[in-house]
Structure 1
Amino acid sequence: MDTERLTAIGWKPCFERQLPADVGDGLVVARVSAHYGSQVLLLGEAGDRRAPAQLAEAAGELAVGDWLIVTAADGRAVQRLERQTLLYRKAAGEQARPQLIAANIDTLFIVSSCNADFNLSRTERYLALAIEAGAEPVVVLTKADLCEDPANDPAHLRRQVERLRPGLIVETLDARDPEQANVLRTWCGPGQTVALLGSSGVGKSTLAMALGVGDLATAAIREDDAKGRHTTTARSLYLMPGGGVLVDNPGIRELQLPACVAGVESVFEDVVRIAEGCRFRNCRHEGDAGCAVIAAVESGELDQRRYANYLKLLAEQAHNARTLVERREQDRQRGRYIKSVLKDHRRRREET
Structure 2
Amino acid sequence: MLDATRPRSSRVLERTSLIKRRAPGTDRQEQLIAANIDTVFIVSSCNQDFKVARLERYAALAFEARMTPVIVVTKTDLVTEPQNYIEAARAVSDMIDVVALDARGDAPRTKLLPWCKPGKTVAFLGSSGVGKSTLSNALLESQSIETQTIREDDAKGRHTTTRRELHAMPNGCLVLDTPGMRELQLTDAAEGINDLFADIQELAVQCRFKNCQHVSEPECAVLKAIDEGVLDGDRLRRWRKLMAEDAFNSASLAERRSRDKAFGKMVRGVKKLKDVRK
**Structure 1 position 158, deviation (Å):** 1.3
The partner residue of 1:146 within 53, 75, 78 is 78
Following the alignment from structure 2 to structure 1, what is the Cα–Cα distance between the partners of residues 66 and 160?
27
**Partner in structure 1 of residue 195 of structure 2:** 266
1:241 aligns with 2:170: yes
The partner residue of 2:212 within 277, 283, 286 is 283
Residue type of the partner of 2:262? Q
The partner residue of 1:197 within 125, 130, 134 is 125
**Structure 1 position 134, deviation (Å):** 1.1
Q: Would the alpha carbon gap of residues 198 and 119 (structure 1) be closer, same or farther in structure 2, given more than 3 Å must change?
A: same
Give unpaired runs (5+ residues) of structure 1: 1-18, 28-70, 72-76
Residue type of the partner of 2:136? A
1:232 aligns with 2:161: yes
The answer (yes or no) to whether the contact 1:173–1:181 under 8 Å persists in 2 is no
1:208 aligns with 2:136: yes
Following the alignment from structure 1 to structure 2, what is the Cα–Cα distance between the partners of residues 217 and 342?
50
The normalised TM-score by structure 1 is 0.75
**Partner in structure 2 of residue 25 of structure 1:** 5
1:256 aligns with 2:185: yes
Following the alignment from structure 2 to structure 1, what is the Cα–Cα distance between the partners of residues 116 and 239?
32
**Structure 1 position 154, deviation (Å):** 1.6
The answer (yes or no) to whether the contact 1:175–1:181 under 8 Å persists in 2 is no
Report SS of the residue matched to 2:187: coil
**Structure 1 position 189, deviation (Å):** 3.0
1:156 aligns with 2:88: no
1:341 aligns with 2:273: no
1:176 aligns with 2:108: no
Residue type of the partner of 1:167? M
The normalised TM-score by structure 2 is 0.94
**Partner in structure 1 of residue 18 of structure 2:** 86
**Structure 1 position 192, deviation (Å):** 0.6
Report SS of the residue matched to 2:265: helix
Q: Of Structure 1 and Structure 2, which has the larger fraction of its residues in strand?
A: 1
Please provide the CA RMSD for this pair.
1.7
**Structure 1 position 112, deviation (Å):** 0.5
The partner residue of 2:41 within 81, 92, 109 is 109
The answer (yes or no) to whether the contact 1:297–1:303 under 8 Å persists in 2 is yes
- The percent identity for this pair of structures is 46
**Structure 1 position 78, deviation (Å):** 5.1
The answer (yes or no) to whether the contact 2:109–2:138 under 8 Å persists in 1 is yes
Higher RCO (CA < 8 A, seq sep 6+): 2
The answer (yes or no) to whether the contact 2:108–2:135 under 8 Å persists in 1 is no
Following the alignment from structure 2 to structure 1, what is the Cα–Cα distance between the partners of residues 205 and 99?
33
Report SS of the residue matched to 1:177: coil
Following the alignment from structure 2 to structure 1, what is the Cα–Cα distance between the partners of residues 248 and 221?
25
1:167 aligns with 2:147: no
Following the alignment from structure 2 to structure 1, what is the Cα–Cα distance between the partners of residues 107 and 197?
34
**Partner in structure 2 of residue 125 of structure 1:** 57
Give unpaired runs (5+ residues) of structure 2: none
**Structure 1 position 166, deviation (Å):** 1.9
- Superimposed CA distance per residue, residues 234-279 of structure 1 (whole angstroms, 9 cap, x where no aligned partner): 1111111121111111101111111111111111111111111222
**Structure 1 position 180, deviation (Å):** 4.3
Following the alignment from structure 2 to structure 1, what is the Cα–Cα distance between the partners of residues 245 and 119?
35
The answer (yes or no) to whether the contact 2:108–2:139 under 8 Å persists in 1 is no
Following the alignment from structure 2 to structure 1, what is the Cα–Cα distance between the partners of residues 111 and 95?
17
Following the alignment from structure 2 to structure 1, what is the Cα–Cα distance between the partners of residues 154 and 74?
16
- Superimposed CA distance per residue, residues 10-55 of structure 1 (whole angstroms, 9 cap, x where no aligned partner): xxxxxxxxx58xx23132xxxxxxxxxxxxxxxxxxxxxxxxxxxx
Size of the aligned set, in residue pairs, is 277
**Partner in structure 1 of residue 113 of structure 2:** 185
Runs of 4+ with deviation above 6 angstroms: none
